[in-house]
């Protein structure tokens, strides 16, 4: 076990730290060497059916549901196909309306989650096309879907999912660009440029994992270890990251946390804010013009109530947010649609270290299972 952890104290930390490497693996053979366009060869046979879809329904549980939610923003934004995102446990029991020209995508690290598997069976029975975005090769979900895209991120051992989340988001990103290109929403020149930007992601993740950044996140975690409640806010593509980051903290540190769309704060959580309440706000600036100003004003509202703001931003937002927030964490700037892949990384580390300072059993938190094979 010590060898497998590669010298790290926990699998979770190892899996966070290996994201640059495994995301490169996830991209392997997915950029066409001749054309430079993104490709997902395992979907070639079903691509026409996906392009003709009436809508795409993404079904999943837990962290995989959060990556599915990023998928909705991506596929509607770039691919211009209507998308719904469903909790598999709800979908399977509410007699969903399904049509033969629907495409049901399930995202699953293990490929064995009982509710997600059942969602596929229902979709298969209705004659919809089913696709799996799965990590574990040969798993039940991989076997029962019409086509599978594997994450290629290697085995994930820590119960709290980290690299499988970024792997799923990366696959959904590639799918969205391919769909948008194939249906004419993205030009050839844009498709080439987008493929290049996607390829830069592993290096941008590596830029976050420098010894200086790690030390500063660790210090920040030490200062936050006794907080009893956290709020995570994000807007647009980063709203699902707020949900996922809150889940990560709950899972490993047993601290209560809520993720919210930044603007929804006014409709409830704002009443909870006081000096005791750390509020992690994802607020990248470059390429996020419209959203940045709005999220910035949410930060001001938190500060006005003495909340302790931890801002995740980029170089462009650093100086501005330093005047408002207690802590500023800088991540490399990316196009808006790629930002979840970088903004989630410091928040994964924050959850990890808060849990470690609190002495939690990080790789197998109480009451949680890596794969929920019963309903
Ligand atoms: C469990 C795990 C989570 C995971 C969820 C869905 O709750 O603890 O980390 O996100 O199941 O699992 P799946 O394997 O389908 O992604």
How many Cβ atoms from other residues are within 10 Å of residue 122's Cβ? 19
CB 142 less than 6 A from any atom of ligand 1? no
SS3 for 356? helix
Whole-number pLDDT of residue 289: 84
* pLDDT score at 1: 59
Listed residue (319, 314, 307) closest to 282, CA to CA = 314
What's the pLDDT at 111? 97
The residue ranges of the chain whose pLDDT is under 50 are none
What is the predicted pLDDT for the residue at 162? 98
Give the N- to C-terminal CA distance of the chain in Å, as an integer: 30
Q: Given ligand 1 and candidates 15, 58, 60, 62, which is best to mutate, with the most ligand atoms within 8 Å of its CB?
A: 62
Task: Say what the pLDDT of residue 3 is.
Answer: 58
pLDDT in the model for residue 375: 84
Residue 38 CA: distances (Å) to CA of 35, 190, 375: 9, 11, 37
Query: DSSP class of residue 245?
Result: H
Say what the pLDDT of residue 2 is.
58
* Cα(109) to centroid(ligand 1), Å: 7
Indicate whether residue 108 lines ligand 1 (CB < 6 A).
Answer: yes
Ligand 1 in reach of 161 Cβ (< 6 A): yes
CA-closest residue to ligand 1 atom 8:
370
Distant-in-sequence, close-in-space partners of 191: CB < 8 Å, separation ≥ 6: 37, 38, 177, 180, 181
pLDDT at residue 337, as a whole number? 98
Question: Would you state the pLDDT for residue 350?
Answer: 98
Angle at Cα 299 formed by Cα 316 and Cα 358, nearest 5°?
A: 100
Atom of ligand 1 nearest to the CA of 60: 15
pLDDT score for 288: 84
């Amino acid at each position: 076990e010590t060898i497998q952890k590669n010298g790290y104290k926990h699998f979770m930390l190892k899996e966070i730290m290996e994201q640059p490497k495994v995301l490169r693996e996830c991209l392997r053979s997915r950029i066409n060497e001749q054309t430079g366009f993104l490709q997902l060869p395992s979907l070639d046979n079903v691509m026409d059916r996906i392009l003709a879809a009436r809508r795409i329904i993404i079904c999943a549980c837990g962290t995989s549901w959060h990556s599915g939610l990023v998928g909705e923003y991506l596929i509607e934004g770039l691919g211009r196909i209507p998308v719904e995102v469903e909790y598999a446990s709800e979908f399977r029991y509410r007699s969903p309306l399904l049509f033969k020209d629907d495409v049901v995508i399930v995202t699953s690290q293990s490929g064995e989650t009982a509710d997600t598997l059942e969602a596929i069976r229902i979709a298969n029975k209705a004659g919809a096309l089913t696709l799996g975005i799965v990590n574990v090769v040969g798993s039940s979900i991989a076997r029962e879907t019409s086509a599978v895209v594997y994450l290629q991120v290697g085995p994930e051992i820590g119960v709290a999912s980290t690299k499988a989340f970024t792997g799923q988001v990366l696959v959904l990103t590639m799918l969205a660009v391919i769909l948008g290109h194939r249906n004419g929403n993205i030009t050839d020149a844009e498709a080439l440029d987008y493929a290049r930007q996607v390829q830069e992601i592993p290096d941008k993740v590596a830029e976050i994992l420098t010894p200086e950044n790690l030390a500063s996140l660790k210090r920040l975690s030490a200062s936050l270890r006794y907080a009893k409640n956290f709020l995570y806010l994000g807007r647009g593509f980063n709203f699902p990251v707020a949900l996922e980051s809150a889940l990560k903290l709950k899972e490993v540190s047993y601290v209560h946390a809520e993720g919210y769309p930044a603007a929804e704060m006014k409709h409830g959580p704002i009443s909870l804010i006081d000096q005791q309440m750390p509020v992690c706000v994802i607020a990248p600036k470059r390429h996020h013009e419209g959203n940045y100003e709005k999220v910035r004003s949410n930060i001001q509202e938190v500060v006005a109530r003495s909340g302790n703001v931890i801002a995740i931003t980029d170089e462009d937002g650093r100086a501005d947010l330093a005047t408002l927030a207690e802590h500023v964490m800088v991540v490399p700037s990316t196009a808006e649609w790629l930002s979840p892949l970088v903004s989630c990384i410091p928040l994964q580390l924050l959850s990890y270290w808060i849990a470690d300072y609190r002495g939690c059993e990080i790789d197998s938190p109480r009451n949680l299972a890596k794969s929920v094979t019963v309903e």
